[in-house]
Structure 1
Amino acid sequence: MARYNYDRLSAQDNSFLLFETPNLPMHVSSTMVFDAGPLRTPEGGIDSDAIRRATQAVLHRIPRYRQKLHWIPLDRHAVWVDDPRFKLDFHLRHTALPKPGSEEQLKRLAARIMAQPLDRARPLWETWIIEGLDGGERFALVTKIHHCMIDGSSGVDLAHILLSPSAEAPEPASVPEFIPRPAPSRGQLWRDENARRIALPSQLIRQAREFAQQVPDLREELRVRGRALLNLIGTGTKADETPMNGKIGPHRQFDWIDVPLDGLKAVRRALGCTINDIVLTAVTGAVREYLLYRGVHPERIEFRASAPVSVRSDKEKGRLGNRVSSWIVPLPIREAEPRRQLEEILRQTQALKETRQALGVEMMMQVAEWTPSILLSLGARAMSGPVNTIVTNVPGPQFPLYLQGARLRAIYPQAPLLDGMGLAIGLISYDGRVHWGIVSDPDLVPDADVFVDLLQASLRRVAELAGLAVEPGETGRETPVPSVH
């Protein structure tokens, strides 16, 4: 009998499965906008067969895309096994926008696609080919990948596999035959899990010895790690309630803006801060003005943002799976002036660096590897309580990418909403621009367009601190900013 094969999910990857509910699908999405270029057919459509062949040709380089979940008996922990019934047509979908094919129509369709959970009986990904944008001049790919498979940082690496820096369509390549490896039986999984747990104490001792050998000053390192964990625990109180926070429903809204990366870099140099500081300050101003717009006084609210931080090493780049920690940043929405907001953001982020709060989150996930899944599930749900929103920023490639010769113009990320969190903001830099994707629950943020306009106005105010201007590009919004005073 052939030896069975599987990969056990890490505690962090598994936590996204435990956290998921029908109204809280835990997949990450993106909307990629392309020029139709050589993929446009004489009838005005898109050559979806060419995209299908290109996808088929790279699947062997990302094996997780042909694997599905099996569950360890009597445990809420999953493993990856090859799917012997894998069919690409189930995962690669094709549809079209109705005329006129506007960006607003694309945003609504992308939001509906994102709102639907992935089928756990199959590999946890989908890609939608959407033609008809701008009357066929452009098309989009909307991707959905479960968070247990991939984080934002490794996702950017995978874009290099699916896309090419060359404008020339690659020559057709031979595709290796997919031969699924045998999956373990429930009994085999149960025996392996028992053996793993029996070995945990000796493994822990070995890891502790290796850690002690690698750290020059063990006492100081333990002191720093203890302080990081205490700092994280100190943020564990429930976040203040706002109109943007509450029970999450089944629907989603999606909007986007984009700004030139060089403009943000110029502001960064002039103000002596980081681009992340600029982003958090802009979000602070937008949240403050939006709460005023909704009739809420921000002076009475402590508003916290989760800012994921990649801890993926260079050796781990391109691997599927999550290597993410996070900061919990109080946004100074009580401050009315952008300069005071920026100063407070700088103070907060410096304090987080000194206390190494992100290390505390990573330590909790390392501890989770030794924790029963039921406790991990409760812990994962509790971690969403201390924050009001998420702001994630992923650096992408700064050169053009192509899909079978069609140029990629923009990538708009769609971060998942967490329990009680009606707004999530994702950013990715690509080819000289920073693309912002804003996801919201329409029941909690019914006027998301107002928030997006206020976000643009807040960005302009931060840039004005440096005597500069940051304006949306050709795909940006042109809606006038509403007055809230």
Structure 2
Amino acid sequence: MVTRIPAPRKAAPGHSTSPLRTLRDQGPEVARKAAQALPPAARKAATVVQKNVRRAATGMLGLSGERMSKVDTAWLRMDSHSNLMMINGVWTLSPGITWEALCERVQQRLLQYPRFRQRVVEDAAGATWVEDKNFDIAAHVLREKLPHRKGQSMQRALQDRVGELAMQPLDTRRPLWQMHLIEDFVGDDGAKGSALIVRIHHCIADGIALISVTMSLVDGGSEPPKRKPRADKDGATAEDWIADALIKPFTGLTVKALDLAGDSAAKSLQMLGDPEKAMQHGLSGTADMARVAYQLVSDAAALALMPDDSPTRLKGQPGSAKRVAWCPPIPLEEVKAIGKALNCSINDVLLSCVAGAIGGYLRSQGDDPTGQEIRAMIPVNLRPMEEAWKLGNRFGLVPLVLPIGVANPIERVYEVRKRMNALKGSTQPILAFAMLAVAGLMIKPAQDALLNLFGRKTTAVMTNVPGPKEQLTLCGSRVTQCMFWVPQSGDIGLGVSILSYGGGVQFGVITDTTLCPEPQQIIDAFAPEFDQLSLLTLMLPWGE
């Protein structure tokens, strides 16, 4: 028996029919009639498909909430047994603050961002942000006592607690964030105060966006700007998503930040979002586009053909436990002075010290890192800073090979500078962003296979986030230190964070305990590396 499936109705005069509207109106009915012609077992399977079609169509059309972007969906699905996709942070405050004061501030400021009131509902096609009607602030702002052993400092106990929480999943029935307040905390400097541990799932926002959240939460902070809703949500198409997710982030200030192959390449990327302007430019624009296209193809090949890292003890199969560590701030002015003397950027100086600290740690474990290199994936911001309040993830990734085997600090900083300069004309951040977007469209096994490309070739994830230049206050108390740790994906077991704040620069590490049981040993090697580089810089010959 052949079941006739009715042809789609023609649109009434003056009305357009989008593919998504057709899916919403006719998809479930078509699935139901087709299922009636099937055997019982197949009919049951068809019923499941019908239900998924209805849920997916409803989600895509935004009828039950706001659809999660494909890049954010990729981060949502990236959790694994060894790595949870959470950004973990710590603030220390002096004097201490109370739980009641913190709850009041969170309600006043943080909850103005819809993402912090919304839970995530997954379906066959992705995920949707849905308002949590049973939102309970006591489930998100937690008061706890810091357990610590006799003879153990509260600083070390705080580090241990952050490591524990880094492997505790957030409750998926609620918005994906939590704060843990230790009201009575005494740091290594003896100052009494409080400590605040913050956990936010990466699907909510990246590190740059969360700086914007931070600035709204502190004393004197402002509320986020109000979003302008899309004029026609029902008419949204795949082309709309491509424009929003892949073209707009590369225009304006973002294109300038990418620093591609000169002004002509930047104009070419801008023309991708304005075909009419591209036609007006004629052959010149076409040639520039061809040049950018060649760069894209070359960088895609470079990503796919990346060689394996050196086989150090920091690379392998991670377990299911984490540990974190961080160092006291280093004066930012000293870092700038070294960079100016050596004609290097601040990043060159800091990354060189990171490479030296990792090499020094390996030597302390009896390994010889001479001639060895490790690859670190470094996030690159792909949006104007004034749009960071919109949250979400808008960054690409570039692979930087760190020369951990170069012992001479001056030689190492110049080697880092050379490698950073080689990345400046790269479109790899764009490709990595697009790869994450594509991964968000896939089922989890396919997504894991795609994203393991990074994990197999990478030892560390490293990020450098510019924090506030002035010291902040929260509920009347001074934020004495702030630090955060980036999540690692796949089998990557090392995360390195550099954060500038209040005139200082801090270096933090999160490690898998199977691969690196004591990250404090890496941290302890960072300051000596910086001091050695500073001393050698002073000893260089100076001009008259």
TM over 0.5: yes
Alignment check: 8 A CA contact 2:371 2:406 kept:
no
Where in structure 2 are the equivalents of 1:114-129 lying within 5 Å? 114-129=166-181
Tell me how far apart the structure 2 counterparts of residues 140 and 159 of structure 1 sit (CA, whole Å): 15
Where in structure 2 are the equivalents of 1:451-466 lying within 5 Å? 451-466=522-537
Letter in 1 for 2:78: F
Letter in 2 for 1:314: M
Tell me how far apart the structure 2 counterparts of residues 10 and 202 of structure 1 sit (CA, whole Å): 12
User: 1:200 aligned to 2:238?
Assistant: yes
Alignment check: 8 A CA contact 1:285 1:455 kept:
yes
Q: How far did residue 29 of structure 1 move?
A: 0.9
Partner residue, 1:86: 135
Alignment check: 8 A CA contact 2:508 2:523 kept:
no
Alignment check: 8 A CA contact 2:110 2:216 kept:
no
Q: How far did residue 130 of structure 1 move?
A: 0.8
Partner residue, 1:32: 91
Tell me how far apart the structure 1 counterparts of residues 272 and 526 of structure 2 sit (CA, whole Å): 49
Q: How far did residue 315 of structure 1 move?
A: 4.5
Alignment check: 8 A CA contact 2:382 2:395 kept:
yes
| CA deviations over 1:211-239 (Å, ceiling 9, x no partner) | 5446643222222322332232232x443
Partner residue, 1:185: none
| CA deviations over 1:243-273 (Å, ceiling 9, x no partner) | 1122222211111112111111111111111
Alignment check: 8 A CA contact 1:212 1:218 kept:
no
Letter in 2 for 1:78: A
Partner residue, 2:208: 153
| CA deviations over 1:429-454 (Å, ceiling 9, x no partner) | 11111122211122211232222211
Partner residue, 1:345: 416
SS of equivalent residue, structure 1 residue 142: strand
Partner residue, 1:240: 310
SS of equivalent residue, structure 2 residue 197: strand
Tell me how far apart the structure 1 counterparts of residues 345 and 369 of structure 2 sit (CA, whole Å): 25
Letter in 1 for 2:94: D
Alignment check: 8 A CA contact 1:229 1:363 kept:
no
Alignment check: 8 A CA contact 2:135 2:174 kept:
yes
Q: How far did residue 52 of structure 1 move?
A: 1.1
**Identity value in percent:** 27
Letter in 2 for 1:200: A
| CA deviations over 1:404-448 (Å, ceiling 9, x no partner) | 111111111122233322221112111111122211122211232
The structure 2 residue matched to 1:65, chosen from 116, 124, 136, is: 116
Q: How far did residue 339 of structure 1 move?
A: 1.6
Deviates more, 1:338-347 or 1:205-214: 205-214
Letter in 2 for 1:242: T
Unaligned runs of 5+ in 2: 1-61, 224-233, 248-270, 279-284, 540-544
Deviates more, 1:208-217 or 1:351-360: 208-217
Count of aligned residue pairs for this structure pair: 429
Partner residue, 1:184: none
Alignment check: 8 A CA contact 2:507 2:523 kept:
no
The structure 2 residue matched to 1:138, chosen from 193, 204, 207, is: 193
Tell me how far apart the structure 1 counterparts of residues 451 and 309 of structure 2 sit (CA, whole Å): 16
Where in structure 2 are the equivalents of 1:44-443 lying within 5 Å? 46-73=97-124, 75=125, 77-97=126-146, 102-134=154-186, 137-165=192-220, 199-200=237-238, 210=273, 212-213=275-276, 216=285, 217-235=288-306, 237-257=307-327, 258-299=329-370, 301-368=372-439, 374-443=445-514
Alignment check: 8 A CA contact 2:76 2:85 kept:
yes
Tell me how far apart the structure 2 counterparts of residues 49 and 287 of structure 1 sit (CA, whole Å): 42
Unaligned runs of 5+ in 1: 41-45, 174-191, 469-485
Letter in 2 for 1:418: S
Tell me how far apart the structure 2 counterparts of residues 400 and 291 of structure 1 sit (CA, whole Å): 35
Deviates more, 1:110-119 or 1:218-227: 218-227
Tell me how far apart the structure 2 counterparts of residues 159 and 336 of structure 1 sit (CA, whole Å): 38
Letter in 2 for 1:456: A
| CA deviations over 1:81-126 (Å, ceiling 9, x no partner) | 1111111111110112357862122212222222211112211000
Alignment check: 8 A CA contact 1:165 1:401 kept:
no
Alignment check: 8 A CA contact 1:413 1:436 kept:
no
For the structure 1 residues 377 and 93, does the alpha-carbon distance in structure 2 shift closer, same or farther, using more than 3 Å as the test?
same
For the structure 1 residues 314 and 202, does the alpha-carbon distance in structure 2 shift closer, same or farther, using more than 3 Å as the test?
closer
Alignment check: 8 A CA contact 1:417 1:440 kept:
no
SS of equivalent residue, structure 1 residue 426: strand
Alignment check: 8 A CA contact 1:228 1:358 kept:
no
Alignment check: 8 A CA contact 2:339 2:346 kept:
yes
Alignment check: 8 A CA contact 2:322 2:511 kept:
yes
Tell me how far apart the structure 2 counterparts of residues 407 and 61 of structure 1 sit (CA, whole Å): 23
For the structure 1 residues 377 and 312, does the alpha-carbon distance in structure 2 shift closer, same or farther, using more than 3 Å as the test?
same
Tell me how far apart the structure 2 counterparts of residues 379 and 329 of structure 1 sit (CA, whole Å): 20
User: 1:16 aligned to 2:75?
Assistant: yes
More relative contact order, 1 or 2 (CA 8 Å, 6+ apart) = 1
Tell me how far apart the structure 2 counterparts of residues 374 and 214 of structure 1 sit (CA, whole Å): 41
Q: How far did residue 143 of structure 1 move?
A: 0.2
Deviates more, 1:361-370 or 1:413-422: 361-370
Q: How far did residue 349 of structure 1 move?
A: 0.8
| CA deviations over 1:290-330 (Å, ceiling 9, x no partner) | 22222333235331111111112234221111111122011
Partner residue, 1:181: none
Partner residue, 1:480: none
Tell me how far apart the structure 2 counterparts of residues 322 and 265 of structure 1 sit (CA, whole Å): 29
Tell me how far apart the structure 1 counterparts of residues 240 and 73 of structure 2 sit (CA, whole Å): 23
